[in-house]
Chain A
Amino acid sequence: MSATNVSENHPPHRIFSPGRIWAISVNTLTELVRLKVFYFLLIFAIALIGSSAFLVRMSFQEQFQVLKDISLGAMSIFSALLTMLATAMMLPKDVEDRTLYTILAKPVPRFEYLLGKLGGVLLLVAIAVIAMSLVFGIALMVRYAQVSADMQAEMAAASPEELQAALLALRAQIFDPALLPAIGLIYLKACIFASVTLFLSTLSSSWIFTVMMAVVVYLIGHMQGEARDYVMTAQEGTWWTRLLFGAIAIIFPDLQLFNLVDDIAVGAAISWGLLWKTVGLGVLYFVIYTAASYFVFAGKEY
């Protein structure tokens, strides 16, 4: 073995380096992928295939409606679960294994470390959402093939034009382009949840506590909108209940906003204005919780 020479020409220090953030993101993604987190996709696929067994008794329209409901609902829950577990484990594990020391002892600012970690989870969730969308797309195509074959058999006596029109109508109903924004909203909701979970994990030292608190925030986030509207508008609401729900509305993200996905699943027309407003609010939530995470993390001593 022979030792290394002392460096005489270090590159000048850079306050911000996208390369460092990318390195941490890719490393986080690699670590999570090798933890075999994608096995949950098998459960997703089995859930979709299993649900198909119940569809045969329904009408064509009902079949596709239920398939979309189940798929989008499962995507929303699976992406939230994956996000929560992956994010909650990141910081406590690095602290426990002292890998955090080795990273922060390199010329890596704390905000780059945090952004890199978050980036890794967002990449993972993006891959998971794309994979689930593909499984969903395949399930739709398989069902379309079965239903169109049945339709052709039933309409054997109809004219080719009538059959063609019926198939086109069926295809338009199944391959609804509004499904893409719905999938985008599911991803955005997961991103918000990642930033919320990251914020919680900067406050705690145990990932179990972080997961428990994240579940509480998830539930409050899905209920606070209705509760707030009721208290703010009801005559019997006292000043302190209004104050309490006002505070909850400020602290907790309103995840009910993303129920737009359910409306899209039932085929309701959603205006672009409402869609962009929801996306804008989602991005704002993400930025606020990520910034709050940084301010807590920057002040922490390990």
Chain B
Amino acid sequence: MNPNAPTQAAIVIENLSKTFPVPFRREMVRAVKDLSLTVETGQVYGLLGPNGSGKSTTMKIVLGLLRPDTGRTSIFGVDSQSVESRENVGFLPENPYFYRYLTGLETLRFYGRLCRLKGSELEDRCHDLLRLVGLEYARHRRLGGYSKGMLQRIGLAQALVQKPRLLVLDEPTAGVDPAGSREIKDLILQFREKGITILLCSHLLGQVQEICDRVGILHRGKLIREGPLKSLISIEDQTELVLEEASPELLDEIRKLAAARGARILRERRPQATLEEYFLAVTKDDPKP
């Protein structure tokens, strides 16, 4: 199979099950039960679920860090238990620490060499990525002195070092301040525009809603809902209308017309900015850490 075939699904998970033994007991915990799903190329797929629902286990199996009990997973058609499948994947774990005695630039060089980049290609790539994630100013600073948001951004850069076609992101904005979180979100949206497939695990549902095309909801190891985000959360029999400069008379007429045509107005309110938008507006001139 050609892993670079453009029409191939990015991730295919078929009948996946995984159990873990409970230490000091003769019990097994079933982390994932008969899970099947497909992430198409170019999609941003959100894998949601409460703690212990099997998100991380699924992700680790996809990355070949865990072996499934039954079922199989593949990345661009290559069995994800094979090392070869990782040629096309970039991974950012939750709360990564990396090597704290390396600088940002050295960290990227290290991960680049693991992907067999070298010479000027490696150097150019490292500097491009540092620019991309906005850390060029801190490239010679050791990671021990990086803030949480900076670590997350260097983590994103290392995930991208070999120009992967698939990015697996586990809670990419966990512990990051709103401005940093916004930057990471913007980057993810840019990656989507460039055709990179993204598998995103997050507890931040607002963020998932903003970024993802499709979501799967895991609960106790089972996939309980799956589909395009819009079709899952839209309320089919309701319509939202936002008016600007509407006079009280016009609003009266609309109310009367709706009543005459048998429609009910459920609520009327002034739209509000989100707290995130407000926070970013008032802090946007703050210098970078």
| Chain A interface residues toward B at CB < 8 A | 1-8, 10-11, 13-15, 17, 19-20, 22-24, 27, 30-31, 34-35, 97-99, 101-109, 301-302
Q: Are B194 and A98 in contact (CB under 8 A)?
A: no
**What's the dominant secondary structure at chain A's contact region?**
loop
- B93 CB-CB contact with A under 8 Å: yes
Q: Considering the complex of A and B, which 5 residue pairs feature the smallest CB-CB distances, nearest first?
A: A7-B163, A3-B190, A23-B113, A105-B91, A34-B101
Interface residues on chain B, size class = 35 or more
Q: Are B190 and A17 in contact (CB under 8 A)?
A: no
0/1 per residue, B93-121, Cβ < 8 Å to A?
11111110110001000110111101000
Q: What is the CB-to-nearest-CB distance from B287 to chain A, in angstroms, rounded to a whole number?
A: 17
Given A3-B191, A105-B86, 20 further pairs, Cβ under 8 A: A1-B134, A1-B187, A2-B132, A3-B132, A3-B196, A4-B191, A5-B194, A6-B165, A13-B87, A19-B113, A98-B93, A99-B97, A101-B91, A102-B96, A102-B98, A104-B65, A105-B90, A105-B168, A106-B162, A302-B66
B101 to chain A: which residues have CB within 8 Å?
Answer: 30-31, 34-35
A20 to chain B: which residues have CB within 8 Å?
Answer: 113-114, 116
A19-B116 CB under 8 A given contacts A13-B87, A108-B83: yes
0/1 per residue, B113-131, Cβ < 8 Å to A?
1111010000000001101
A23-B132 CB under 8 A given contacts A7-B165, A97-B97, A107-B86: no
Cα distance A302–B195 in the bound complex, in angstroms: 30
A99 to chain B: which residues have CB within 8 Å?
Answer: 96-99
Cα distance A19–B186 in the bound complex, in angstroms: 35
Q: Are A1 and B183 in contact (CB under 8 A)?
A: yes
- Could you count the A-B residue pairs with CB atoms below 8 Å apart for me: how many are there? 132
- B88 CB-CB contact with A under 8 Å: yes
A302-B65 CB under 8 A given contacts A6-B165, A102-B98: yes
- B89 CB-CB contact with A under 8 Å: yes
A6-B196 CB under 8 A given contacts A35-B101, A97-B97: yes
A1 to chain B: which residues have CB within 8 Å?
Answer: 131-134, 183, 186-187, 190
Q: Which of B9-66 contact A (CB under 8 A)?
A: 60, 63-66
Q: Are A13 and B129 in contact (CB under 8 A)?
A: no
Cα distance A19–B119 in the bound complex, in angstroms: 13
0/1 per residue, B193-222, Cβ < 8 Å to A?
111100000000000000000000000000
Can you name 18 A-B residue pairings with CB atoms under 8 Å? A1-B134, A3-B190, A4-B160, A4-B163, A5-B163, A10-B87, A31-B99, A97-B96, A98-B97, A99-B96, A99-B99, A104-B63, A107-B87, A108-B86, A109-B83, A301-B65, A301-B66, A301-B67
